[in-house]
Amino acid sequence: MKKTQEKQVNPAGFVRGGAEIVKAERAEENVVTHRLSIPKAWKMYVGGAFVRSESGRYFQVVGATESADATTTNIPLASRKDFRDAMGVAQAAQPKWAARTAYNRGQILYRLAEILEARSEEFVRSLVRGGATEAEAALEVAAAIDRSVYYAGFADKLGALLASSNPVAGPHFAFTVPEPIGVFAVLAPQKLPLLGLVTTILPLVCAGNTVVAIGSDLDPRTVITFCEALATSDFPGGVINVLTGRAKELAPWFVKHREVRAIEAYSDDAALLTELERGSADAVRRTKTHHAVAREWFFDDRRGQGLGFLERAVEHKSIWHPVGL
């Protein structure tokens, strides 16, 4: 395959201003065919469907010059209402997701790992287009796949690890069981568009929550490609919803939505994180902020994953039961 950037007329006589025309040479037949490339309309992932912003707005990203695809692309710029709509979808999906067996949630997470593995080359290319080096990208994709498998295995074990039978002074049994919290609003890390998102949202859905996440706006195409993997991995629509847009515009709405039961936010913007913490005080909403986290942290299996992530995804319910009944 050879690519030319200059304007050409295809055999049917159509001229497409500025569009890239791929000139393919089939050597064995010695035929030259011309065709227009078909650029993809990049869309956000809400309720199991790919959607544009209700506002009709876009922002543009440019591929890294070293990548094979250095074109400029339009990405939906999510609005407050997109967030509200996604919240409605996530909220509707949550009880059914939590009602699935932990084993089944684990299977679905494993399926995600399978799909990521099958498309790993595409993810590497995508990350390189987003500015990573070939080696960095390969490392990030591998870590993301392994992390999916990690949480796939954890789904039916976190109950055993986090629940307890409590010794109490009296003729009662007291049990503590972990339960999902509800809908999480997530501000995913800007760096590491794939691994950052995976690290943040998978423990939440593993524990039975649903998620509305704002993906990295530095490399939104990798975020959306990850959503395409989600869409083909047996996750029911609405469990993971991903918006593309500006954190500064969208994240403040996290705390203005009472259905947001908990927040996980990664950002280098300390003021924004403080705003989220302060805004959550009124509703006593569980809010975990992570300021300027280093890249290595995400790759470190002892810090970037673990039971602690799952503990933040559940709330504990204690039940007292009289002995002898």
Partner 1 sequence: MQSKSPAVVEPVEPSPARRIGLFSLFSSPTVDAVALEERAANLAKRSLKKEAKVAGLKLAISMMDLTTLEGKDTVGKVEQLCRKARRPMEGDGTLPSCAAICVYPNFVTTAKKALEGSTVKVASVATAFPSGLSPLPIKLEDVRRAVEFGADEIDMVIDRGAMLSGDYAKVFDEIARTKEACGPAHLKVILETGELGTYDVVRRASDIAIAAGGDFIKTSTGKVQPAATLPVTLAMLEAIRDHWYATGVRIGMKPAGGVRTAKQSLQYLVMVKETLGDAWLTPDLFRFGASALLNDVLMQLEKERTGFYQASADFSKE
316 lines the binding site for partner 1 (CB under 8 A): no
Using CB under 8 A as the binding criterion, the count of chain residues that bind partner 1 stands at 6
Q: Of the ranges 66-74, 170-178, 205-213, 252-260, which one interacts with partner 1 (CB under 8 A)?
A: 252-260
Min dist CB 283 to partner 1, Å, is 8
Q: Among 257, 262, 273, 304, which residue sits at the site for partner 1 (rule: CB under 8 A)?
A: 257
Give me the least distance between CB of 241 and partner 1, in Å please. Answer: 16
Segment interacting with partner 1 (CB under 8 A) among 193-201, 209-217, 220-228, 255-263: 255-263
Residue 91 CB, shortest distance to partner 1, in Å, is 8
- Pick from 16, 35, 96, 258: which binds partner 1 (CB under 8 A)? 258
Q: If you write DSSP's letter for every residue of 159-228 in order, what string do you get? A: HHHH-EEE--SSSEEEEEEEEE-SEEEEE--SSSTTHHHHHHHHHHHHTT-EEEEE--SSSHHHHHHHHH
Contact 258, 283 (CB under 8 A): yes
Give the x-and-dash track for 260-299 against partner 1 (CB under 8 A): ----------------------------------------
Binding status of residue 259 toward partner 1 by CB under 8 A: yes
Rounded to whole angstroms, the Cα distance separating 88 from 48 reads 13
94 vs 148 by CB, closer to partner 1 = 94
Our finding on whether 119 is near partner 1 (CB under 8 A) is no
Q: Alpha-carbon distance 158 to 179, whole Å?
A: 10
CB 183 within 8 A of CB 210: yes
* Of the candidate residues 43, 52, 84, 100, the single one contacting partner 1 (CB under 8 A): 84
CB of 262 to partner 1, least distance (A): 13
Report how far apart, in Å, the C-alpha atoms of 55 and of each of 80, 81, 98, 242 are.
9, 8, 32, 16
> Counting beta carbons within 10 angstroms of the beta carbon of residue 128, is it exposed (0 to 12), middle (13 to 18) or buried (19 or more)?
buried
What does the block give as tokens for 33? 């065919």
Residue with Cβ nearer partner 1 (256 or 303)? 256
Q: Are 266 and 200 in contact (CB under 8 A)?
A: yes
Q: State the nearest-atom distance from the C-beta of 285 to partner 1, in Å.
A: 11
Take residue 316 and report the two structure tokens written for it: 């504990």
Q: What is the closest distance, in whole angstroms, from the C-beta atom of residue 183 to partner 1 in the complex?
A: 10
Q: How many CA atoms lie within 13 A of 289 on its CB side?
A: 19
Q: How far is the CB of 97 from partner 1 (least distance, A)?
A: 17
- Residue keyed to tokens 């064995």: 28
Stretch that binds partner 1, among 167-175, 203-211, 257-265, 308-316 (CB under 8 A): 257-265
Candidates 87, 108, 186, 250: give the one binding partner 1 (CB under 8 A): 87
206 to each of 73, 195, 243, how far by Cα in Å?
A: 33, 16, 20
- Provide the β-strand partners of residue 211: 184, 240
Residue 267, Cβ neighbours under 10 Å: how many? Answer: 21
Indicate which single residue of 3, 256, 278, 321 sits in contact with partner 1 (rule: CB under 8 A): 256
By the criterion CB under 8 A, which residues form the site for partner 1? 84, 87, 256-259
